[in-house]
Amino acid sequence: MDLSARQLRTGIRSPGVLARELLKARIAPLPPDTPRSPQRPWMEASLRRYFERQRDPSVLLADYDHRIAASKRRESAASEIANGRKMLERFLTLDQSQVDPTRFLMKPVRVEMFGHRVIMGVDVAYETQDGWIVRHLITDEEIRQIDHWRLYATAAALHFEERPDGGPIAAVQLWLLRYDRRVVGWPRSILARWVPRLAVRFDEIARGASGQAA
C-alpha cells in the first residue's frame, strides 16, 4: 500500500477514516482536472523562493501575495489562501532565530516502511555532528494530539534514514503552523521507543484497508 504523508497523518489519527478514504478513491477516483486547493503548493513555492533569497522575510510574503493576485481562484479559495498567508507569517516568526538550513524542500520519495510504501518529503534539514535534524511544516489538522505528533515524527525519522539522500537522524521537529508558536520535537533516542507503536498503527491501517476492500 502506498501512503502519502497526508494519508499517513490521517491513518495515525484514525485508521478507519483512512480506510474509507482509500476505498472511496478506488470506487470513484477524482478526475485529473478536479480543482485542488492551491494553499500548500503556493506556500511551498514561496518558501523555496524565500530560502533561495537568503531567507529574506519580505520575499516570502511578497511572493505569496503575487500568486494570489495572479490566480483566478483567489475568490473561490479565499479562506484557504488567507490561512496560508497566516501560516507563513507564523513560520517567519519561528524562523527568525534559526540558522540557514543544509537542505530545504527535499522532494517526496517513496520508502518502504513496515511492508508498505510511504511517500514523504522534508521541508527543512540541518546536518550536525550528531546527525540530521529534520523539520516538517504541518499545515493541516489531521493530527492534533501529542501521541499522534510523536508517531508521525517517528515515521519521519525512519523515512529520512532510508531515503537515498538522507542519513542518521539526531532529532525530528514539527512546526504546527495552524497554531501560534506551536513546535514539538524529539531526539532519535525517544522516537526509537515509539517504533513498535508505529508498527502497530500500520497494521491497523492495513487491516482497515483490507476490511473495507472486502
> In this predicted model, what pLDDT tens digit does every residue of 43-79 receive, in sequence order?
999 999 999 999 999 999 999 999 888 876 656 577 8
Residue 203 reports pLDDT greater than 70: yes
Phi, psi of 81, rounded to the nearest 5 degrees: -65, -45
Q: Is residue 115 part of a domain?
A: yes
User: Which residues, 6 or more positions from 133, have their beta carbon under 8 angstroms from its beta carbon?
Assistant: 125, 126, 169, 170, 171, 172, 173
**Predicted pLDDT of residue 21:** 86
When pLDDT is cut at 50, 70 and 90, the band that residue 28 belongs to is low
**Predicted pLDDT of residue 32:** 55
Residue 166 reports pLDDT greater than 80: yes
Domain of residue 162, residue span = 2-14+102-213
What percent of the chain shows pLDDT beyond 90? 75
**Predicted pLDDT of residue 29:** 63
When pLDDT is cut at 50, 70 and 90, the band that residue 213 belongs to is very low
Query: Which tops the pLDDT comparison, 29 or 115?
Result: 115
CA–CA distance, 61 with 83 (Å, rounded to integer): 13
Query: Which tops the pLDDT comparison, 34 or 83?
Result: 83
When pLDDT is cut at 50, 70 and 90, the band that residue 34 belongs to is very low
Q: Is residue 20 part of a domain?
A: no
Place of cell 525519522: 157
Task: Report residue 153 as a C-alpha cell.
Answer: 515524527
156, 118 Cβ separation under 8 angstroms: no
For 77, half-sphere exposure in the C-beta direction (CA atoms, 13 angstrom radius) is: 19
Q: Is residue 80 part of a domain?
A: no
Q: How many domains does the chain have?
A: 1
Residue 110 reports pLDDT greater than 60: yes
When pLDDT is cut at 50, 70 and 90, the band that residue 101 belongs to is very high
Q: Is residue 165 part of a domain?
A: yes
92, 60 Cβ separation under 8 angstroms: yes
Q: Is residue 24 part of a domain?
A: no
**Predicted pLDDT of residue 214:** 44
Range list of β-strands (E), 33-167: 103-113, 116-128, 131-138
Indicate the average pLDDT of the chain.
Answer: 90
Q: Is residue 39 part of a domain?
A: no
* Element holding 39 (H helix, E strand): helix 39-52
Residue 212 reports pLDDT greater than 60: no
CA–CA distance, 141 with 10 (Å, rounded to integer): 9
Q: What is the mean pLDDT of residues 5-27?
A: 88
136, 184 Cβ separation under 8 angstroms: no
Q: What is the mean pLDDT of residues 134-160?
A: 96
Q: Is residue 85 part of a domain?
A: no
**Predicted pLDDT of residue 62:** 96
Q: Is residue 76 part of a domain?
A: no
